[in-house]
């Protein structure tokens, strides 16, 4: 690929992060610019203008990849399109009934989320397929034509179609789509059987509805982004990151924006995996703290944890994504007191506008204000000096909280930080317990603007094996986007008893899925894919169970006479996950999955020179830490070399974040510029 630069951008709730790679030298440039919530593309244009000031012209950029939260924000704010849903006759209450489970099982006042489509916008289709996909009743075309007329007359922007058992046989959904396009040209149609043909009707319907609901907003944004980039002179076709950690071309993203819902945090995990591997660390807990939230994920043996269903605003998103847990506690999280006078931090965020009080835009007291009042931040170096901070405004905003608590300002700020850490610990501890993980075998990998400030506290709380701070933690998600491959997941559902189905039949079905996934890769509008690979897996369960266990499948297992080896691995996986198994019980596969990975060129890892002597601080600063004032050394990250060691407590400053090392810990710089924190003895 000719050209000088590759550009990765991630739009967060507070900052738009940028990582630029100069292809010939391997040099990386990172910067942050405030996000413009009302016009996210404006933040990208502002970043391009800042790059121009350094001599980088848009015409020289030949690779552009971008993580977006447009779809997620549209769904959370419920500002999507006015759409209709067509379902099998007799199932009009599909969205209202949901799964008949309380969102919080022990709270009888908890309520299911209000459907995105009201009951009057759900229309019946007289047809019926059996569980094996065989046709029981054909589509009643006369009734269908009348229904299409009603939908068109009502002015709906699009129609989602989810018919019973269409995951086994899409013929009826395709017939419905054909007649809609014939009788209502211009009406947008989303078929559940094409978007994600997996068993479970309600979840499949929700996925189709969400995709169509957010699609107009996503398309408008992508169209506007293309126009703005062209105006700036950037001619390359943008790529968009996905929830599964991969990328896709912008045309594919416009058709299936539901695949982008968790794209930003997922890209950060991909970047974290690459950097941890270079540091020789296989087990990490990623800890991404930005301005709005803290995102946590677990990587075991170099592989991120995936989930097949995620939750957004109470809705199940039945599509593979990197497993990420979010806590509403970031640098912009608002500080407040509840009705009982209890100190709270988040989940509401001040964002980038107005931002925390210290931004000078009239914002409320937030976690960043507490960092500033405790002396952890350098007001003149925040976001490389692009955002001025005003400690006196932080003091003014936090003073009412301090007075209500009967504390001085520094003590109140310290208490705010303790509450934020407690919130993060509670969420992370639940994740570790649920997955049966011993944190002593894991290292906390800190990134995001505030992650390196808080990671040492979290590592102490969970007794993790250490903390790893990469060279550019503040722009990790943008760097991760540059490291991402093209990834496509394909699935087929059906009940397949392992005692009855032959490996040859499974192999045939996997090869059909692989061909579908290969076609997706070939249709991507990008000519830089450097090879590909396929990963097979299946969801299996004991006959009669309602939930499955994901099993990776070695293609060699599909060459035998029977599936006994696969069944044996399922029994062992069930024992490890639930503490028991039943080797005599029949096992069935319900979903076959193929992941196609189109390999892309990765940014080279920069090395730092070896240290010629001990690390020398640039100065000292008084900070307030754990109820005490103390003077600590302040180091400049750019001056650290491989082999340098720093004893805590200490502060390390850099353009995109600040690193805080606690007492009882020592940081050591490795050959790639990572700082690895380990305990030196009893933590003080």
For residues 476 and 594, membership in a common domain is answered with: no
Percentage of the chain with pLDDT > 90?
Answer: 71
Res 575 pLDDT > 80: yes
**Mean pLDDT throughout 195-212?**
95
Q: What is the pLDDT of residue 14?
A: 72
SS3 content of the chain, % helix, strand, coil (to 5): 35, 25, 35
Q: Specify the pLDDT at position 72.
A: 84
Residue 296 forms part of a structural domain: yes
- 478 with 501, same domain: the answer is no
Tell me if 648 is assigned to some domain.
Answer: yes
CA–CA dist 367, 500 (Å, integer): 59
d(CA 248, CA 251): 8
Last residue of a domain, one of 374, 390, 419: 419
Flag whether 19 is in a domain.
Answer: yes
Higher pLDDT, 427 or 593: 593
User: Could you count the other beta carbons within 10 Å of the beta carbon of residue 90?
Assistant: 11
What average pLDDT does range 441-451 have in this prediction? 93
Label residue 339 exposed, middle or buried (CB < 10 Å: 0-12, 13-18, 19+).
exposed
85 and 206 co-located in one domain: yes
Averaged pLDDT for residues 83-104: 90
Q: Which of 190, 213, 236 is the last residue of a domain?
A: 213
In degrees rounded to 5, what are phi and psi of residue 358? -65, -10
Report the alpha-carbon distance of residue 533 to residue 518 in Å, rounded: 9
Residue 387 lies in a domain: yes
d(CA 227, CA 238): 11
Q: How far is CA 263 from CA 39, 174, 247, 583, in A?
A: 19, 30, 9, 39
Same domain, 625 and 518: no
Kindly state whether residue 605 falls inside one of the protein's structural domains. no
Report the candidate in 507, 637, 627 with the shortest Cα–Cα distance to residue 562. Answer: 507
Q: Which two tokens stand for residue 675?
A: 């700082």
CATH of the domain at 22: 3.30.420.40
Rg (CA), the chain: 26
Write down the pLDDT at residue 292.
77
- Average the pLDDT over 663-681 and give the result: 93
Contact 480, 28 (CB under 8 A): no
Whether residue 197 sits in one domain with residue 86? yes
403 has pLDDT over 50: yes
Mean pLDDT of the chain: 91
Report if residue 604 sits inside a domain. Answer: no
Cis ω on the peptide bond leading into residue 59 (within 30° of 0)? Answer: no
pLDDT of residue 33: 85
User: Do both 574 and 672 map to the same domain?
Assistant: no
Q: What is the CATH number of the domain that holds 539?
A: 3.30.1490
Would you call 109 helix, strand, or coil by DSSP?
coil
Q: How far apart are the first and last CA of the chain?
A: 53
**54-75: b (≥16 Cβ within 10 Å) or e:** eebebebbbbbbbbbbbbbbbb
Q: Which pLDDT does position 682 carry in this prediction?
A: 40
Q: Flag whether pLDDT at 371 surpasses 60.
A: yes
CA-to-CA distance for 608 and 445, rounded, in angstroms?
Answer: 19
Q: What percent of the chain has pLDDT over 70?
A: 98
φ, ψ (nearest 5 deg) of residue 451: -55, -50
Q: How far apart are CA 381 and CA 492, in angstroms?
A: 52
DSSP 610: B
Which residue, 151, 179, 213, sits at the end of a domain? 213
Task: Report how far residue 25's alpha carbon sits from residue 33's, in angstroms, rounded to the nearest whole number.
Answer: 25
Q: What CATH number does the domain containing 293 carry? A: 3.30.420
Q: What is the DSSP letter of 609?
A: P
Buried b (16+ CB within 10 A) or exposed e, 348-362: ebbbbeebbbbbeee
Distance of alpha carbon 661 from alpha carbon 669, whole angstroms: 13
55 and 85 in a common domain:
no
Rounded to whole angstroms, the Cα distance separating 664 from 646 reads 11
Please check whether residues 127 and 196 belong to one and the same domain.
yes
pLDDT digits (tens, 9 = 90+) for 240-287: 999 999 999 999 999 999 999 988 889 999 999 999 998 999 999 999
What HEC string does 128-144 produce?
EECCCCCEEECCCHHHH
Give yes or no: residues 206 and 95 share one domain. Answer: yes
207-234 pLDDT, tens per residue?
999 999 999 999 999 999 999 999 999 9
pLDDT (average), residues 36-57:
88
Cα torsion 430, 301, 596, 132 to 10°: value is -50
Residue 599 has pLDDT above 80, yes or no: yes
Please report which confidence band the pLDDT of residue 385 belongs to, taking 50, 70 and 90 as the band edges. low
Same domain, 239 and 290: no
Are residues 226 and 209 part of one domain?
no
CB 63 within 8 A of CB 240: no
Phi, psi of 80 (to 5 degrees): -90, -165
DSSP 360-396: SSSPPPBHHHHHHHTT-S-TTTGGGGTS---HHHHHH
pLDDT tops 90 at residue 327? no
Whose CA is closest to 296, among 414, 461, 80?
461
- Work out the number of other CB atoms within 10 angstroms of the CB of residue 440: 10
Q: Does pLDDT of 683 surpass 50?
A: no
CB 139 within 8 A of CB 126: yes
Q: Which two tokens stand for residue 470?
A: 């990469």
- Here the tokens at position 63 are 């690779």
Q: Which one, of 484, 487, 520, lies nearest residue 597 by Cα? A: 487
Whole-angstrom Cα distance, residue 451 to residue 454? 5
pLDDT digits (tens, 9 = 90+) for 69-79: 888 888 878 88
Domain that holds residue 124: 80-213
pLDDT of residue 384: 65
Residues 98 and 206 in one domain: yes
Separation between Cα atoms, residue 70 and residue 225, nearest integer Å: 12
1: pLDDT confidence band, cut at 50, 70 and 90? very low
> Using 50, 70 and 90 to split pLDDT, how confident is the model at 88?
very high
Residue 681's pLDDT is what?
Answer: 62
- Measured distance CA(367)–CA(349) in Å, rounded: 10
Q: Is residue 424 part of a domain?
A: no
Residues 534-539 have a mean pLDDT of 96
Number of structural domains found in the chain: 6
| Per-residue confidence (pLDDT) for residue 528, from 0 to 100 | 82
Tell me the C-alpha distance between 160 and 180, whole Å: 11
Question: Token pair of 400, please?
Answer: 């009412």
Q: Mean pLDDT, to the nearest integer, of 72-99?
A: 91
Q: Is residue 427 part of a domain?
A: no
Maximum C-alpha span of the chain = 85
Nearest to 179 by CA among 169, 167, 191: 191
């Amino acid at each position: 690929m000719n050209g000088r630069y590759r550009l990765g951008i991630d739009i967060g709730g507070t900052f738009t992060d940028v990582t630029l790679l100069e292809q010939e030298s391997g040099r990386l440039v990172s910067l942050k610019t405030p996000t413009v919530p009302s016009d996210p593309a404006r933040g990208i244009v502002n970043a391009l203008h800042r790059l121009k000031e350094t001599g980088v012209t848009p015409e020289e950029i030949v690779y552009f990849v971008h993580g977006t939260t447009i779809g997620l924000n549209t769904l959370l704010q419920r500002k999507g399109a006015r759409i209709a849903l067509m379902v099998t006759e007799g199932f009009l209450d599909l969205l209202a009934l949901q799964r008949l489970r309380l969102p919080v099982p022990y709270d009888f006042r908890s309520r299911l989320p209000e459907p995105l489509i009201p009951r009057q916008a759900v229309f019946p289709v007289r047809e019926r397929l059996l569980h094996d996909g065989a046709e029981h009743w054909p589509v009643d075309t006369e009734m269908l034509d009348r229904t299409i007329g009603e939908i068109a007359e009502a002015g709906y922007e699009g129609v989602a179609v989810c018919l019973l058992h269409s995951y086994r046989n899409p013929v009826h959904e395709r017939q419905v789509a054909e007649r809609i396009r014939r009788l209502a040209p211009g009406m947008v149609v989303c078929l559940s059987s094409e978007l994600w043909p997996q068993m479970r009707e309600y979840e499949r319907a929700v996925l189709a509805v969400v995709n169509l609901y957010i699609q107009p907003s996503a398309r408008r944004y992508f169209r506007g982004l293309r126009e703005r980039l062209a105006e700036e002179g950037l001619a390359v076709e943008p790529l968009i990151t996905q929830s599964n950690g991969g990328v896709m071309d912008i045309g594919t993203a416009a058709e299936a924006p539901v695949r982008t819902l968790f794209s930003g945090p997922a890209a950060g995990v991909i970047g974290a995996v690459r950097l941890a591997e270079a540091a020789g660390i296989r087990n990490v807990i990623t800890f991404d703290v930005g301005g709005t939230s803290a995102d946590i994920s677990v990587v075991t043996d170099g592989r991120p944890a995936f989930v097949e269903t995620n939750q957004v605003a109470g809705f199940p998103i039945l599509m593979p994504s990197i497993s990420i847990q979010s806590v509403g506690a970031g640098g912009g999280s608002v500080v407040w007191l509840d009705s009982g006078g209890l100190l709270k931090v988040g989940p509401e965020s001040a964002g980038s506008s107005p931002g925390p009080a210290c931004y000078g835009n009239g914002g409320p007291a937030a976690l960043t204000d507490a960092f500033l009042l405790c002396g952890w931040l350098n007001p003149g170096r925040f976001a490389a000096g692009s955002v001025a901070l005003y400690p006196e405004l932080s003091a003014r905003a936090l003073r009412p909280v301090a007075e209500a608590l009967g504390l001085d300002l520094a003590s109140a700020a310290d208490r705010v930080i303790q509450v934020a850490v407690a919130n993060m610990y509670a969420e992370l501890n639940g994740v570790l317990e649920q997955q049966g993980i011993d944190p002593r075998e894991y290292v906390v990998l800190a990134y995001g603007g505030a992650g390196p400030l808080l990671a040492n506290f979290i590592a102490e709380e969970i007794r993790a094996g250490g903390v790893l701070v990469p060279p550019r933690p503040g722009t990790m998600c943008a760097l991760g986007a540059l490291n991402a491959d093209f990834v496509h997941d394909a699935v087929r559902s059906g009940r397949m008893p392992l005692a009855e189905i032959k490996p040859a039949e499974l192999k045939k079905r996997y090869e059909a899925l692989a061909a579908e996934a290969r076609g997706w890769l070939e249709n991507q509008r990008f000519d830089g894919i450097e090879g590909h690979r396929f990963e097979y897996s299946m969801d299996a369960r004991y006959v009669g169970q309602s939930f499955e266990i994901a099993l990776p499948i070695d293609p060699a297992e599909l060459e035998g006479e029977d599936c006994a080896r696969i069944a044996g691995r399922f029994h062992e996986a069930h024992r490890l996950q639930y503490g028991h198994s039943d080797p005599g019980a029949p096992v069935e596969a319900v979903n076959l999955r193929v992941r196609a990975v189109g390999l892309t060129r990765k940014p080279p890892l920069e090395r730092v020179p070896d240290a010629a002597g001990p690390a020398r601080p640039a100065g000292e600063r008084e900070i307030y830490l754990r109820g005490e004032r103390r003077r600590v050394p302040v180091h400049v990250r750019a001056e650290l070399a491989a082999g340098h060691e720093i004893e805590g407590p200490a502060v390390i400053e850099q353009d995109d974040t600040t690193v805080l090392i606690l007492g009882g810990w020592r940081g050591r710089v490795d050959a790639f510029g990572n700082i690895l924190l380990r305990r030196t003895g009893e933590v003080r």
